[in-house]
Amino acid sequence: MLSAHNITYIHPDRDVLFENISLSVTSREKAALTGNNGTGKSTLLKILAGVLQPSHGAVHCDEQPYYIPQHFGQYNDLTLAQALKIEDKLAALYAILRGNATEENLALLADDWTLEERVSEALAHWNLQEFNLTQPMETLSGGEKTKVFLAGIRIHEPDIVLLDEPTNHLDVASRKLLYDYVSTCSETLVVVSHDRFLLNLLNPMLDLGRNGISVYGGNYDFFKEQKEVEQAALFQTLHSKQTALRKAVQTDRETIERKQKLDARGKKKQIKMGTPKVMMNTLRNRAENATARLKDIHTEKIAHISEEVAQARQALPFGSTMRLDFKSSELQRGKVFVTAQNINVGFGENLLFKNVLSFEIRSGDRLSIRGGNGSGKTTLLKTMLGMMEPSVGTISRAKFRHVYIDQDYSLIKNGLTVYEQAQSYNLDGLEEHEVKLRLNRFLFGSTFWEKPCSTLSGGEKMRLMLCCLMLSNRAPDLFVLDEPTNNLDIQNIQILTSAIAEYKGTVLVVSHDSTFLEEIDVESAIELG
């Protein structure tokens, strides 16, 4: 059993991240913690793990959870054994086996006589058997570091496991191992992830939002259906409020016009009857005061309805009003972009690809590059685009415009402000207000315009990148995407998916996200083994 009661977390700068958060995960339940970037999912997971202390509230659990973080830089100075917290226990085991069975060593081992076997089995299961436990963590890739901590589950055999974006750096084969573990394990799980395949193995969904945690009893597909129903209701509410506002404004105008006509008619009548000037002034003042009171009543009503409209619009899901308008490439479908004959990359006999590669990329293709971590997927992309040349074989490239989207969104220049970045893509000379209008459509209001791009999150950089491409009004012939979803939450992934799905040109993508590949209609693959 794992529970949190009235958890509040306040940043050192006194900004409140979330407050009065409560949740409960029962024994053997496999829960997903979802929510937009910035809502505090990773922070809440650290609080549940005991890594962070809440500003207010308390966490209760039957035992110390086993926690796998999203980032591993803090472990770079440690060996694998130290990072897994088994160094002292292994040293005690080896000392006892050498005959040094002191009370201290026996206490450290705590009768864990199968530790060495579990370590070997766990590392072999995650294909880490070639690594030495004394090896520094800094020598491992991101995926290998993740697998070290995943191996720790088998080693420590915890009852509660907390996972923060565990698939971020895993290749397809390693993801399959993780999916199998989640499907068959008996541990209590709480998982933060944007991997929709993984989320469909979990139940319930704990959705962290502006108003706390909402619990949805089902997997991600069920959660998505419920969210769509809620979104439809929110749009209906907004439509009703906007209709009421238009009617209120129209009624206000008609009422005032009718009152002014009556007053004018009355004034003419008084003049015709020869009413004294003093009385005329009194009647005019009364009419003006009555009109003002009537105006105040309608103004107050309109202001109230306007506030309701604003609240209804604010309640809409993040990004739901974003406008995407990618144009198709003008190149004729089937034109050959790249032709490769028996290529490989490397130096001398140290070639990167297991086999030489031959392929063609034609206008209109949608294909992926598939292979394990370290197989050379990014290198092959750069070779296709002319950023590198093959060491073996030949490659020819036609003239084409491409956009290269990597997981760091390097098209965004950190030294520019958001407005300056957008303006650098304003090739048609749009007026300043037009550029800012387009920024608004991509959820960059006035508070963002002077903000440095270096301070943006991954999701914000992705949206700004899409906004810049729209501003340029130049459709690329080829979209190249290199692990574009790694740093995005689900809603930003959906925004990117929608943009690429609407685009009618050529797409070349490296991604381990099978759902993303399916939704952007990838048709074939180049296999690197």
The residue with greater pLDDT, 108 or 37, is 108
The residue with greater pLDDT, 296 or 515, is 515
> Cβ neighbours of residue 46 under 8 Å, at least 6 residues apart?
52, 67, 69
The full set of domain ranges for the chain reads 2-218, 227-314, 336-527
Assess whether pLDDT exceeds 60 at residue 271: no
Determine the Cα–Cα distance for residues 326 and 177; give it in Å rounded to an integer.
37
Q: What is the pTM of this model?
A: 0.71
Task: With CA atoms as reference, report the closest residue to 299 among 238, 352, 251.
Answer: 251
Instruction: Report residue 422's pLDDT band, with 50, 70 and 90 as the boundaries.
Output: very high
Compute the average pLDDT of residues 97-119. 91
Q: At what angle do helices 490-502 and 458-472 cross, to 10 degrees?
A: 20
CB 500 within 8 A of CB 476: no
Amino acid making up residue 15:
D
CA dist 413 → 137, 385, 424 (Å) = 31, 21, 10
Compute the average pLDDT of residues 313-319. 59
Output the pLDDT for position 459.
79
The residue with greater pLDDT, 246 or 204, is 204
> Cβ neighbours of residue 130 under 8 Å, at least 6 residues apart?
none
The residue with greater pLDDT, 433 or 331, is 433
Output the pLDDT for position 104.
92
Output the pLDDT for position 204.
94
- Largest interatomic CA distance in the chain: 126
Domain 336-527 has CATH 3.40.640.10: no
Output the pLDDT for position 348.
67
CB 503 within 8 A of CB 326: yes
CA dist 59 → 45, 77, 206, 212, 439 (Å) = 11, 30, 16, 16, 41
Compute the average pLDDT of residues 230-252. 76
The 10s digit of each residue's pLDDT in 361-394 is: 998 899 999 888 778 888 898 899 998 899 989 9
Fold match between domain 2-218 and domain 336-527: yes
CA dist 65 → 27, 51, 62, 163, 202 (Å) = 12, 10, 9, 10, 18
Task: With CA atoms as reference, report the closest residue to 381 among 401, 398, 361.
Answer: 361
* Beta-ladder partners of 508: 367, 480
Assess whether pLDDT exceeds 70 at residue 273: no
Instruction: Report residue 325's pLDDT band, with 50, 70 and 90 as the boundaries.
Output: low
CA dist 156 → 86, 111, 159, 161, 187 (Å) = 9, 14, 9, 11, 12
Place of tokens 């959906």: 494
Task: With CA atoms as reference, report the closest residue to 383 among 371, 372, 391.
Answer: 391
Sign of CA dihedral 270, 272, 276, 280: positive
Compute the average pLDDT of residues 457-474. 83
Task: With CA atoms as reference, report the closest residue to 129 among 177, 80, 67, 69.
Answer: 80
First to last CA, the chain: 43
Instruction: Please report, to the nearest 10 degrees, the dihedral formed by the alpha carbons of residues 294, 295, 297, 300 taken in order.
Output: 180
Looking at every residue in the chain, the average pLDDT score rounds to 85
Sign of CA dihedral 150, 156, 160, 162: negative
Assess whether pLDDT exceeds 80 at residue 275: no
Output the pLDDT for position 267.
58
> Cβ neighbours of residue 62 under 8 Å, at least 6 residues apart?
1, 2, 27, 159, 160
Superfamily of domain 2-218: P-loop containing nucleotide triphosphate hydrolases (3.40.50.300)
Determine the Cα–Cα distance for residues 192 and 246; give it in Å rounded to an integer.
43
Task: With CA atoms as reference, report the closest residue to 486 among 406, 379, 411, 432.
Answer: 406
Determine the Cα–Cα distance for residues 71 and 334; give it in Å rounded to an integer.
43
Compute the average pLDDT of residues 439-458. 86
CB 368 within 8 A of CB 511: yes
Least confident stretch, 16-20, 252-256, 472-476: 252-256
Of 29-38, 177-186, 235-244, 334-343, highest mean pLDDT? 177-186
Compute the average pLDDT of residues 324-341. 73
CB 353 within 8 A of CB 376: yes
Output the pLDDT for position 161.
97
The 10s digit of each residue's pLDDT in 45-97 is: 999 999 999 999 999 988 899 999 988 888 999 999 999 999 999 999 999 98
Instruction: Report residue 278's pLDDT band, with 50, 70 and 90 as the boundaries.
Output: low
